[in-house]
Chain A
Amino acid sequence: MKVLVAVKRVVDFNVKVRVKADQSGVELASVKMALNPFCEIAVEEAVRLKEQGIATEVVVVTVGSNAAQEQLRTALALGADRAILVEAADDLSSLTIAKALKAVVDKEQPRLVILGKQAIDSDNNQTGQMLAALSGYAQGTFASKVEVVGDKLNVTREIDGGLQSLELSLPAIVTTDLRLNEPRYASLPNIMKAKKKPLETLTPSALGVATTSTIKTLKVEAPAVRSAGIKVKTVAELIEKLKNEAKVI
C-alpha cells in the first residue's frame, strides 16, 4: 500500500529562539532549520513499514516555502521514494495546510497518512486531526505503536493516564508520538542518492485550496522572565527557605 508522510521545516529544536523587537514574530533569519522531530519519527515509521513489505511506496509531502525542499531531500535520504512540495507561504494556518494535504490525499490515494503529532514552532497539534476530518478517515493520534492487520490498523496511543489501543479502518491518519520509534540517520550514499529522487512542485491554487485564514497574530512577545534565584548550601537551609521565605511547604 502507498503511505503518505507529511513533514514540516521548523527551527532546529536546540535553538533558543528570540522574539523580534517589533513583536511581529520570532527571529528566523540565519537560524538553523531542520525537519520537525515528530515528522522524522513519521518518516521513520513509513520506511519501516516499507522494509516490512507492508508499504509499497512512501511519498513525502510538505506545504511551505521553496527552502523546504531541503527537508524533503532529508526525508528522501531517510528512505522515502518521492517528494511533493506544495509551494506556499511559511505561516499558513493548520486548517489551510490540512486542506492542501487533503487535495494531495485525493490525488495520491494513500492507504495510510502519517504526520507528527505537533510542530515544535506553532505547537498547534491540529493538522493530523483536521486532515482526518476533511478526508472522513479515522485518526490514531499520539501513536506509540502501529500495526497493519489486513484492512485494519491497530494503534496504541499515549493518553493522559497511560495507553489506549484502537482498531481503525484503512485508509486512516496516524500522528506520531515521541516513543513510536527512534529515527535513523541518513548515510552519505543515501544523501547522494536522494538528490536524484523525484520531487514534484505544486501550488495551493493548482490544488484548488484558498490560503485565507480566520486567525490573525496581533503580536508575539517574550515570556515573563523569572527573577534570579539563589543557591543554598545545605538541605536544612533549603527547607528553611521553603518554609519561611517561599511558604510553599
Chain B
Amino acid sequence: MTILVVAEYENGAVAPATLNTVAAAAKIGGDVHVLVAGQNVGGVAESAAKIAGVAKVLVADNAAYAHALPENVAPLIVELAKGYSHVLAPATTNGKNILPRVAALLDVDQISEIISVESADTFKRPIYAGNAIATVQSSAVIKVITVRTTGFDAVAAEGGSAAIEAVGAAHNAGISAFVGEELAKSDRPELTAAKIVVSGGRGMGNGDNFKHLYSLADKLGAAVGASRAAVDAGFVPNDMQVGQTGKIVAPQLYIAVGISGAIQHLAGMKDSKVIVAINKDEEAPIFQVADYGLVADLFEAVPELEKLV
C-alpha cells in the first residue's frame, strides 16, 4: 500500500493541516508520499520532505496549478493516483473543493472528514452535524478520503528526509481563472490550530464589543472565533465562524461568550477538551456541553477574566 497525501500550504511552507493528514495516512499504514502542486513551490516541497514519516515528495510546479484551481489540479492528481491505494487531503476548503472532483474522475465514492482509521478500508466519520458517528467501509480500488484535522494529532514537521521528485505533467483545462483574493489579516494563532479559542456570539451586541474578546485572547495567546449569528449580524468576517458550516476546532480550551449553543455551532467545537460558557441566560443549551459555566453579564465577566488571568 502506498498513500498519496495532497499537501496544503501557506506562506511558502506546508500548513499544519498537512501534518494531521500525514498522521491519518500513517495510521492506515504503508509508504506515504506527499504531493505539492502549485507555482514556485520549491520551498514548500523542501518543508514537506522534512515531515516525519514521509517517503517521497512529488512536486508539480506549474503556473496552471497556482491557486489550486480544481479544474487543473484534479486531473493531475487523477494521473498520479493510479499508482496509489489511498489519496488523502485535509478537509480544508481546498481539500473539500478538489478531492470530490478527483473521486468522480476516478469513478469511486469519496469518504469525507474521517475522524478515525479503523483499518485500511474502514473509517469513522461524523454525520448529522456530529450527532451521529458512522463507520463506513470502502471497496474502491483507490480510496479517496478527506481528513478532519482535529481528529488526528499532527506528526512532527521535522526529522524526515524524503526524496523530492519533480512531476512534469501539465494539465490546464482553461475553463477557470483566478481573479483575486481578500484574506482576513490576523496576528493571532490560526483558529483551527490554536490551543485556546475565545468565541463570541450574538450576545456581543456589536462588532466593536469584540475588542473585549481580542484583548482577552491576546493575554491567553488564543484565537478568536464566532458563531454564525455574530457573522450574519456583521460583527466579524465569516472566516471566524465556528460550526457545521464554518470551521471545526478542537482546542484544549474553548471559551464561548454570549453564544446560545445551537446544534450547528456545537458541531464545530464540541470535541474541545474543556469548554467554558459565559452567558447571562442560565437556560442556554451551551451549558449542557460546558465543563464550566458562568451565568453572568459578559461585559462584566470578560474584562474581569482578562484582569485576573
Residues of A bordering B, CB below 8 Å:
11, 13-14, 16-17, 19, 26, 93-95, 98, 117-118, 120-134, 137-139, 141-142, 144, 154, 157-169, 172, 177-179, 213-223, 226, 229-236, 238-239, 241-242, 246, 248-249
Q: Is the CB of A124 within 8 A of B112?
A: yes
Shortest distance in angstroms between B154's beta carbon and chain A's nearest beta carbon?
17
Q: How many Å from the CB of B292 to the closest CB on chain A? A: 6
Candidates B67, B97, B296; contact of A141 at CB < 8 Å: B97
Which residues of B (207-222) have their CB < 8 Å from a CB of A? Answer: 220
B92 and A160: CB pair below 8 A? yes
Q: A160-B239, A223-B131 are in contact. List 10 more A-B contacts (CB 8 A).
A: A94-B110, A95-B109, A122-B127, A125-B112, A161-B239, A164-B67, A216-B138, A219-B134, A223-B133, A230-B292
Cα distance A142–B121 when bound, in Å? 29
| Interface residue ranges of B286-302 to A (CB < 8 Å) | 287, 289-296, 301
Q: Does B236 contact A (CB under 8 A)?
A: no
Contacts of A132 in B (CB 8 A): 70, 101
Q: Which residues of B contact A217 (CB under 8 A)?
A: 134-137
Chain B binding site: helix, strand, loop or mixed by DSSP?
mixed
Q: Which of B112, B132, B293, B301 has the most CB of A within 10 A?
A: B132
Q: Is the CB of B175 within 8 A of A95?
A: no
Q: Give chain B residues whose Cβ lies under 8 Å from the Cβ of A94.
A: 100, 109-110
If A166-B178, A168-B176, A214-B109 touch, does A125 touch B132 (CB 8 Å cutoff)?
no
Q: How far is the CA of A130 from the CA of B301 in the complex (A)?
A: 48
Report the stretch among B27-35, B50-58, B159-167, B179-187 that lies at the interface.
B179-187
User: Total A-B pairs in contact (CB under 8 Å)?
Assistant: 254
> Cβ of B245 and Cβ of A178 under 8 Å apart?
yes
| Cβ-defined partner of B104 (8 Å) among A130, A158, A218 | A130
Please state if B136 and A218 are interface contacts (CB–CB under 8 Å).
Answer: yes
Interface membership of B130, Cβ < 8 A: yes
What residues of chain A lie closer than 8 Å to B244, measured between beta carbons? Answer: 120, 123
Q: List 13 A-B contacts (CB under 8 A).
A: A121-B127, A123-B126, A123-B244, A154-B179, A162-B183, A165-B179, A214-B139, A218-B122, A222-B133, A235-B296, A242-B276, A246-B273, A249-B309
Smallest CB–CB gap between A29 and chain B, Å? 15
Q: How far is the CA of A177 from the CA of B97 in the complex (A)?
A: 13
Taking the nearest CB of chain A, how far is it from the CB of B183, in angstroms? 4
Chain B 255-287 residues near chain A, CB threshold 8 A = 263-264, 270, 273-276, 282, 287
Closest-by-CB residue of A relative to B115 is: A223
Known: A216-B136, A223-B133, A248-B252. A238 touches B101 (CB 8 A): no
A235 with B294: CB separation less than 8 A: yes
| With A163-B181, A215-B138, A232-B294 as contacts: A249 and B133 at CB distance below 8 Å | no
Shortest distance from the beta carbon of A112 to any chain B beta carbon, whole Å: 14
Using known A-B contacts A120-B129, A231-B294, determine if residue A216 contacts B239 with beta carbons closer than 8 Å. no
Instruction: Tell yes or no: B79 within 8 A of A by CB.
Output: no
**Which of chain B's residues have a CB closer than 8 A to the CB of A163?**
181-183
Least CB distance from B287 to A in Å reads 7
B110 contacts A95, C-beta separation under 8 Å? yes
Q: Which residues of A contact B174 (CB under 8 A)?
A: 169
What 0/1 pattern do residues 115 to 150 of B give for CB contact below 8 A with A?
000000010001111111111111110000000000
Contacts of A221 in B (CB 8 A): 132-133, 135
Counting CB contacts under 8 A, is B177 at the interface? yes
Which residues of B lie under 8 Å from residue A166 when comparing CB positions?
69, 176-179
Report B302 CB to chain A, min CB distance, Å: 9
| Chain B residue with the shortest CB-CB distance to A228 | B288
The smallest beta-carbon distance between A136 and chain B, in angstroms, is 8
